[in-house]
Chain A
Amino acid sequence: MPMTRRRFLKGGLAVAALGTMGATMPSVMVRSLYAANAAPGPALQGAPAGGPRTLVVLQLGGGNDGLNALPPFTSGAYHDLRPQLGLDESDGVAPIAEGLGLHPSLASLVPRWERGEMAIVQNVGYPEPDRSHFRSMAVWQTAQPAEAIEEGWIGRYLDFRAETGGDQWRAVGVDPGPSPAFRGGPFVPAVESIDGYTLQADPVYPRDQSSRLVAWQALHTAAGARTGSLPLLSRTGLEAFESMESLQAVAGDYAPMVAYPSGNPLAAALQTVAQLIDADLGTNIAYVTMGGFDTHAEEGDDHGPLLANVASGLNAFLDDLAAHGRLDQVAVMAFSEFGRRAGENGSGGTDHGKAGPVFLFGSGLNGGLYGEAPDLRNLDDGDLRYSVDFRSVYASVLEGWLGSESEPVLLGKFETLPIFRA
């Protein structure tokens, strides 16, 4: 049984024990100790009146090539490393700072950059980088580079903040299944589409639906007392039932105020997020994913369309939020499990790397560049040496945007960057 704050408090374990046990204690227990000491209250102060703040986490799976998403296009070293793939102003790179630009397919974000609604943390990574997609993604999702653990950083956040939040919609994954970043925490609804998040009736016998639903719940309740995976199925079924009822009660009023691009799954997912935010379910964190960034070959053909979907999806989403008067409630953080090798390979692509940029969007942040640009003349086995620990970005978001302590969530203290307005 996962230990939530409430369960822990009932247990009454002495906080003083942390001093001697901290190094060897399971992280779940460390988290609970922090939770027991946390002063409740200031957490939600400063949230805008329209509703609680929402963080949208956008996972770009496969390893987004940061050096071409954010090309140092005047650097000789960059073009030496990438004779074919290197981008220049003649390719349509949109300059945003001295010697630094956005990929041509991200150029539609420039007005947002100029309005100060976009921040870029350069050269983000973690100690002893791993070039495996799966290990590296797990590091970002658990916020634990040193050891493989089950629970995700958002799961820890949700448990830590359990007393301040509302119900099941405090976090949501707009995906067929919830991200591993939610593991270890409370139930988080996974929503593939809002229309689909319901139990359909037999159209021939609509009057039978209420007895079906009674039996449906009874079957799920009864399974809770059994063994194996049945308690998990029972609990999840009952949570799904309850969250379905609360969602369907409020989700009817939304209509998009902008045209979301078609044929862009990310845009569709973000529209679902906009609908959930508009429904005022108290959603603190929404998680969306997009894959396909593993550009080992013919990156020149493939990377642009991917980034174009990111830019057009985000622009529609942020414009829609603004039209609904919700833009000041939302921040977006886009990350990838790693960047790619500094030099191109022989297939017109790039192999797995070690560091890359994190992009943030919203009207509540201090737009601009954070962190140092990568040094292309001082590589580590052909890779960028990271200069900002990704947990510093998480800490900045947790403290600066969500108004939460970060230490209990990240299981350590990390420097924060002034990405968000005080």
Chain B
Amino acid sequence: MTTRRETGHLLRRAGFGARPSDFEDYAGLSWEAAVDRVLDYAVLPDALAATPTPTQQRPDSDELRLGAIDVIGWWLERIIVSERSFEEKLVFFWHDHFATAITKAPPPLMANQVVTLRRQALGNFRDLLVAVATDPAMLVYLDGNTNVVGNPNENYARELYELHTLGRGNYTESDIQETARALTGWGVDRRAQGSRFRTNRHDTGVKTIFGASGNFDLEDVADLIMAHPDFPTFMVAKLARYFVAPDVSDAYIIRLADEWVAADFELRPLLRAIFLSAEFRAGSYRALIKNPLEFTVSATRNLGATVAPRLVLFTAHTMGLIPLNPPTPAGWPAGAAWVNGNSVLARSNFANALMVASRERFRERGGDLPAVSFEPMEVLEARGATDAGSTVDAFADVLLDGEIDFHDREILIDYLGGGFVPDEAAVDEKGRGLVYLLLSSPAFALA
């Protein structure tokens, strides 16, 4: 059976956090069934399926008419509310891995890229790689669209090996230059918001990559990467450090990489093996640090709340993470990089804003406040809270999987006060203060 602690852990990693009802839904499942339920997200209802993508909403949109904030908000809404949370987590992972930025690639192309990543997120890696290599936003961001015969541009080829597939030290400068030649000819078709291969701009000469020679093109480069001995471990290490722990062992990576090669680089069996592993299930609880998006969205989902995307965006931006606008082609930093003075204060200020803006009297007023819906009394009544201790436990159950340190519990009971009774008035002041403190606590910053 899957415990509350395990459900919280799984849905924090393979998603953006458990909602209160998820704990009941997963409690009756074996671990294997719980993992499969996460992986088989395609059968779950898609509440936003009918919502058109930004480019469907405005099919003639170009970078002037469709703003970056529209596109980021469209994706964020889905990240916050999706039933298929693992799907959006995978899209974020691939967006971070194959980083492109909306300040260089036009917003409509970025919106289409999110759709492409969603479609390929859990399929075959080779297909994903080719889809990204010919994705219009990537062609703009790393200048593939200006990479033509006679005048190769090596920007994409370098990051393809350094960041996307092999890692530094596993290729030569000559491999980069020859690969750029092999990839010449791909360009953006602005009118169709798609890409196309322009035969007359492709270099048909012989290229030498990783010691092999031939008239290589994109498909050949993809094959050469799949056959490169450093590729499987590079990619598995990246996934394992993101989904499991930053210090997973070499043996663990090699074991998973061997299985992945045997599975012909299908992603579903790899992710399944990761989540079923003891290293993940028991060995990585709270081993990661939430990035700003994971922090803000998990707070919202854990509380069973909804929040306007712009409050999430404001906080994540303050902390240095704007979705669809990573700082460099390497995506965002991870782990301890998110622990600093600015982020500590920004996390608490988000918690405060969430509690303030969700008050009914503020919600009705609208105006400058972002829309937040959260009813602390609902959580407390559902869990039968009657005093300070049971009030702390009720919120610790949803925010910390019930895994609250004894000292933290005492500190929070002291904060509520000895005679605390969770009535409307007390909860409006101290109950919201309690949630603010739990969200500010070091334990909640961990994933």
Contacts and interface: CB of A to CB of B under 8 A. Distances in A.
Given A201-B352, A218-B411, A233 B442 contact: yes
A215 B170 CA distance: 51
Contact of B432 (A196, A202, A234, A296): A202
B309 interface: no
B328 interface: yes
B439 to A, nearest CB: 11
A177 B318 contact: no
A259 to B, nearest CB: 25
A198 B348 CA distance: 9
A367 interface: no
A243 B436 CA distance: 21
A346 B349 contact: no
Interface stretch (B111-119, B251-259, B270-278, B336-344): B336-344
B341 A239 contact: yes
Interface in A62-103: 62
A132 interface: yes
A229 B336 contact: yes
A291 B405 contact: no
A175 interface: yes
A284 to B, nearest CB: 17
A28 B400 CA distance: 37
Nearest to B289: A229
- What band does the interface of chain A fall in when counting residues whose beta carbon is under 8 Å from B? 35 or more
Contacts of B294: none
Contacts of B151: 345-347
Interface string A218-230: 1110110010111
B320 A177 contact: yes
Given A199-B349, A212-B436, A215-B414, A347 B441 contact: no
B127 interface: no
A114 interface: no
Contact of A230 (B152, B340, B443): B443
Contact of B340 (A215, A226, A236, A294): A236
A269 to B, nearest CB: 13
Contacts of B356: 202-204
Given A196-B318, A219-B408, A349 B342 contact: no
B158 A202 contact: no
Contact of A297 (B143, B339, B341, B353): B143
30 contacts: A133-B328, A176-B320, A177-B333, A178-B340, A187-B341, A190-B340, A190-B341, A191-B341, A199-B348, A202-B433, A202-B436, A204-B359, A211-B415, A215-B412, A215-B414, A215-B415, A219-B442, A220-B442, A223-B405, A223-B442, A233-B289, A233-B339, A236-B344, A240-B342, A244-B341, A292-B103, A297-B143, A297-B146, A297-B155, A346-B148
Given A176-B319, A240-B341, 11 more contacts: A176-B342, A177-B320, A177-B340, A177-B343, A197-B342, A201-B352, A205-B429, A211-B433, A212-B437, A219-B440, A239-B341
